[in-house]
Amino acid sequence: MSAPDLRGNPTGTAVAAARDHAERALWRMMSFYDTPLADLDAAAQADPQWAMPPLMKAGFLLSLTEPALVDEAAAQLAAAQALERSCTPRERAHLQAVAQVLEGRWTAACRTWDTLLLDHPRDALALQWAHLWDFYRGDAPALRQRPARVLPEWDEADPLYAHVLALHAFGLEECNLYPQAEETGRRALQIESRVPWAVHAVAHVMEMQGRCEEGAVWLRQHQSVWTEGNGFAGHLWWHKALFRLEVLDFAGVLRLIDAHLSGESLQITLQRVDAAAILWRLHLLGQDVQAAARALADGWPLDDANAGYYAFNDVHAMAVLLAAGEVARAESWLARCAERAMAADDARRVNHAMAREVGLPLMRGLLALTRGDADGAADLIHPVRGLAQRFGGSHAQRDLIDQTLLAAAARGSRRALGRALLNERLLAKAATPLTRHWAERVGGREAARA
């Protein structure tokens, strides 16, 4: 007879060892300590008739936004679907949601998880997966509201409670509720020190408030938590590089790139995106990063299978090609991404709208700036700035758009646009050397005195 998991959620297995291995895999998904694949293999071995181990493997592989892993994810999902007869209604809802993700229907998948969570508010897997695809879709209200809807149902003694708090902290930050976000993130770490997502949420708060020196100290204080055996390390090194960039410590940024954001450190596209983002920012600031960008581009699978899979990743690939001086490759990449975005058989994919509304105009704007048409770049990018949340990422990641617009304003005639962006920036965060750098170049008198 089947038994519930640690949170009372019904499962389709009576094998305690299978549930234990799946619980360990779930902790790995939420904490990023190693991948969950070995634990899921052990769960499947303990109970070959349980659908959840292959289903969890399928969802994990899809969560990496890696086109090369889609076929394996589909095979794992098919294996889980073959075992559907033994599933509980909750597990069937997970099957439906992961199938929707595979089809590119990310919004529908999040709705399915939302419905599941009404009956099972302590389903951590639904929380974790919905949170990731909210992030990929740029749905900031859902990042905040979903954890808030379930947190009162959780017990602080639950080993995953601090991780759920961390999800809420990040959602609060993305909704610009910075004091609440910081308080929630710090509380999560008081309960459990090994919660990199909470470290990450507080780092985002400090980034958004211009607390760059404090942010660097914060990451250093918690470095032992997120650097050893943690899949989130590369992204937090990126945050550390952002803090150094904010004070125009180019040498420090380059040291971090060499040590943690290049070469063998970059195994998947999510890691390459971080490297591309920091290299593009350096490129805009006049730093020579061509060799590093070319090495990154050469190690990035940019074939037809990868073009147009996820607009957020596509924009960053475009940026690194341009920073590498590979304009012809960039033009080809843009054409292939546009072809995929307009394909009729992709019409159900969330990415179809992301690319048309945000991704492709941004890519064309980056290309225009590289070709020397700064005003054309501004005219392409500025209209989609207000829509940019729709193609995912965080405020800190999408700041690449404002940095590019400031460069376009400095190089062309759209100085009024540049000053407006700086005015907005100065009301949102403390003035930093990076802000002053752009103020000097676009002629913002008040910004320059800040």
Give pLDDT tens digits for 279-292.
999 999 999 999 99
Q: What is the mean pLDDT of residues 168-191?
A: 98
Q: Which of 116, 161, 123 is nearest to 8 (CA)?
A: 123
Q: Which of 281, 291, 352 is nearest to 319 (CA)?
A: 281
Whether the pLDDT of residue 450 is over 50: the answer is no
Q: How far apart are the C-alpha atoms of 131 and 135, rounded to whole Å?
A: 6
Q: Which of 184, 158, 170 is nearest to 128 (CA)?
A: 170
Domain ranges in the chain?
262-413
- Condensed to tens digits (0 to 9), the pLDDT of residues 305-357 reads 899 999 999 999 999 999 999 999 999 999 999 998 877 566 557 888 899 99
- Quick check: 56 and 22 in contact, CB under 8 A? yes
What pTM value is reported for the model? 0.95
Residue 343 is predicted with a pLDDT of 75
Residue 400 is predicted with a pLDDT of 97
Residue 348 is predicted with a pLDDT of 59
- Condensed to tens digits (0 to 9), the pLDDT of residues 237-280 reads 999 999 999 999 999 999 999 999 999 999 999 999 999 999 99
DSSP track, 152-183: GGS-TTSTTHHHHHHHHHHHHHHTT-HHHHHH
Q: With pLDDT > 90 as the criterion, what percentage of the chain qualifies?
A: 92
Q: What is the mean pLDDT of residues 99-120?
A: 97
- Quick check: 307 and 338 in contact, CB under 8 A? no
Calculate the average pLDDT of the chain. 95
Residue 342 is predicted with a pLDDT of 79
Residue 431's SS3 state is coil
Residue 2 is predicted with a pLDDT of 84
Whether the pLDDT of residue 444 is over 90: the answer is no
- Condensed to tens digits (0 to 9), the pLDDT of residues 124-153 reads 999 999 999 999 999 999 999 999 999 999
Q: How far apart are the C-alpha atoms of 300 and 276, rounded to whole Å?
A: 10
Residue 228 is predicted with a pLDDT of 82
Calculate ∠ Cα 53-58-62, nearest 5°. 150
Helices 89-102 and 124-137 pack at an angle, to 10 degrees, of 20
Confidence band, pLDDT 50/70/90 cuts, at residue 448:
very low
- State CA 195 to chain mean position distance: 17
Q: How far apart are the C-alpha atoms of 70 and 420, rounded to whole Å?
A: 43
Provide the b/e sequence for 400-417 (b: ≥16 CB within 10 Å).
bbbbbbbbbbbbbebeeb
Task: Compute φ and ψ for 168, nearest 5 degrees.
Answer: -65, -40
Q: Tokens at residue 395, please?
A: 């405020």
Q: How far apart are the C-alpha atoms of 107 and 273, rounded to whole Å?
A: 23
Q: How far apart are the C-alpha atoms of 311 and 297, rounded to whole Å?
A: 17
Torsion angle of alpha carbons 278, 283, 289, 293, nearest 10°?
A: 60
> Would you identify the CATH topology of the domain 262-413?
1.25.40
